[in-house]
Amino acid sequence: MTRLLTGTMLAILLSLQAQADDDITTRHIQQVIDWTDAAAKDRNAAGIGEYLSDSFVKIIEFPHDKWLAKVRIDKKQYLELIDESWPSLEEYRYQRDNTVIHIMPDRQSGQSYSTITETLSLDGKRMVSKFREYAVYTLENGRPVITQISGHTLVGDTMPQPDQNP
């Protein structure tokens, strides 16, 4: 009887561990963020590409005249764009702040929300861009990858301020 109970408990524990390996975790997402941030700081498009799903898409919204424009690019277009633009920059700094990570109830995907600040110089002109990023993650062949990044360019001071009234 003890042997049967021990065997049953062991089988349950092993099945829970196998299921846990199939779940995405906050740690998985944070690792992808850390790896892709390091690659961006090194201006390494191929390094970023290692953590993008084959079906990756980036959707960018930005103000244009009085309208909000939206651009959608796939993985190949995105990596070519950044790889071609980095060599022409005299300065490039990348910073991520205000990151929040959520795991979806099915535990098969997750999301992160961050503010990305990029500072760059081109032809002697210094520019600062802030982007509110929404990223979606999943496990692909057992590896955590980004399937989509969307967001919008921030204009003005968009950080929430603590309530000033007592």
pLDDT of residue 112: 98
In a domain, 34, yes or no: yes
- Of residues 28 and 65, more confidence is placed in 28
Q: Which residues have C-beta within 8 Å of that of residue 119, sequence separation ≥ 6?
A: 91, 92, 93, 95, 126, 127, 128, 129
In a domain, 145, yes or no: yes
Note down the domain range covering 122. 24-153
Indicate the pLDDT class of residue 1, thresholds 50, 70 and 90. low
In a domain, 96, yes or no: yes
In a domain, 135, yes or no: yes
CATH code for the domain of 74: 3.10.450.50
Average pLDDT over residues 92-97: 95
In a domain, 79, yes or no: yes
When divided into structural domains, the chain yields a total of 1
In a domain, 158, yes or no: no
- Computed on alpha carbons and rounded to an integer, the radius of gyration of the chain in Å comes to 21
pLDDT of residue 19: 43
Candidate from 24-28, 46-50, 111-115, 122-126 with smallest mean pLDDT: 122-126
Indicate the pLDDT class of residue 16, thresholds 50, 70 and 90. very low
In a domain, 84, yes or no: yes
pLDDT tens by residue, 133-152: 999 999 999 999 999 999 88
Q: Residue type at 88? A: S
Instruction: Look up residue 24 and give its two tokens.
Output: 């995405």
Give the separation between CA 76 and CA 55, rounded to whole angstroms: 10
pLDDT tens by residue, 120-134: 898 999 989 899 999
- Output the pTM of the full model: 0.77
Indicate the pLDDT class of residue 7, thresholds 50, 70 and 90. very low
In a domain, 122, yes or no: yes
Phi, psi of 31 (to 5 degrees): -65, -45
Phi, psi of 32 (to 5 degrees): -60, -45
